[in-house]
Amino acid sequence: MDFATLLQVLDSTVRLATPLLLACLAGLFSERSGVIDIGLEGKMLIAAFFSAAIAALTGSVWLGLLSGIVSAMLLSGLHGLASITFRGNQLISGVALNFLAAGLTVLIAQDWFSQGGRTPSLLEGGRWAALTLPLAETLRPVPILGPIYYELISGHSILVYVAFLCVPATWWILFRTRFGLRLRAVGEAPEAVDTAGVSVVALRYAAIAICGLLCGLAGSYLATGLQAGFVKDMTAGRGYIALAALIFAKWRPWYALWACLLFGLLQAVALRYQNIDLGGFTIPVQFMDALPYILTVVILAGFVGRAIPPRAGGQPYVKER
């Protein structure tokens, strides 16, 4: 693999890792507060649809982004209502959200656009444009460093940079603020937080609101940045991969970044190298396509027992009287 090809693979890695990273950080906030969120897939999917649909109708990618965030936060609120207010099973409510989003997006898309459950292809103005960072053109001729800056660091849409900036922001919020301390405490010992006079319910709702916001960004990027419109089930299991990355990262933001980049690299390699010849034995294209999902299963099988989740995760809190 020459240097130019390596840069192209790494560039694809960054783009493909972006929605995974946003969804992983979304799950991080939710699960740190004690709410297990299997519904990341559904929130991303409904955000992807409404982002693409509104962008197609209005020609504004910003209105599409706003619509995607609002729809994901509404679905997040529904999850909170079921799992926090009514103390339902968090896993079942999350799975129900995934089914709801999968059916609802196709139904509305067919009703609005009559294109078999998809939206029209987005034109300029309805998609995120690539940003050229300062000095990218000037430094381009510089050997090695120039191409790295011009092709790998520069040239992405604004949501890619937002996603990577969310990593230090998440770390700062969780580990350097009073809100983050209380949020982590709710996931470990909600009764202690309640005794201190802090509302467990309010903190958990705040966490899933942040989760909805980040899922909205992830879904919007999928439909208006990575692709040019919405198609049925376009998340393709990315919500579950993000959960696997979260477990692999042991619920820590910086580890989550590297875990998502690993999954993004596997997807990039699978897209670029459809058939790999290993001395007479050819790895089939089906195996390459399934490689990210195989790694998901391996990580879940090998790390679930070793990674220790928040102690109160999945447990509805009942206030003592």
pLDDT tens-place string over residues 189-225: 899 888 888 899 999 999 999 999 999 999 999 999 9
Q: Phi and psi of 141, rounded to 5°?
A: -75, -15
Prediction pTM value = 0.92
Mean pLDDT of 258-262: 91
With 0-12 / 13-18 / 19 or more C-beta atoms within 10 angstroms meaning exposed / middle / buried, residue 250 is middle
Q: Is 35 helix (H, G, I), strand (E, B) or coil?
A: coil
Q: Report pLDDT for 195.
A: 87
Q: In the structure, what pLDDT confidence band is assigned to residue 268 with cuts at 50, 70 and 90? A: confident
Range of lowest pLDDT (223-232, 244-253, 268-277): 268-277
- pLDDT of 303 higher than 70: no
At 252, which helix (H) or strand (E)?
none
The mean pLDDT of 109-135, rounded to a whole number, is 89
pLDDT band at 275 (very low <50, low <70, confident <90, very high): low
> Is the pLDDT score of 294 beyond 70?
yes
Any idea which of 118-132, 154-168, 302-316 has the lowest mean pLDDT?
302-316
> Residue 61 and residue 317: Cα distance in Å, rounded?
40
The amino acid at residue 311 is R
Token reading at 161: 């940079």
Question: C-alpha angle 219/222/225, rounded to 5°?
Answer: 125
Q: What is the mean pLDDT of residues 1-25?
A: 90
DSSP for 147-164, please give it: HIIIIIISS--HHHHHHH
pLDDT at 165: 96
Confidence of residue 69 (pLDDT cuts 50, 70, 90): very high
Return the pLDDT at 317: 79
Mean pLDDT, the chain, whole residue set: 88
In terms of C-beta density within 10 A (0-12 exposed, 13-18 middle, 19 or more buried), how is residue 100 classed?
Answer: middle
**Residue 160 near residue 18 (C-beta atoms within 8 A):** yes
pLDDT at 307 over 80: no
Q: How many residues does the chain have?
A: 321
The answer, yes or no, to whether residue 276 has pLDDT greater than 70, is: no
Quick one: tokens of 311?
Answer: 């102690």
| Residue 282, SS3 per DSSP | strand
* 124 DSSP assignment: T
Q: Name the DSSP class of 7.
A: H
Give the confidence band of 151 by pLDDT, cuts at 50, 70, 90. confident
Question: Other C-beta atoms within 10 Å of 152: how many?
Answer: 16
**Confidence category of residue 164, pLDDT binned at 50, 70, 90:** very high
> Which amino acid, 229?
G
Which residue has better confidence, 150 or 290?
150
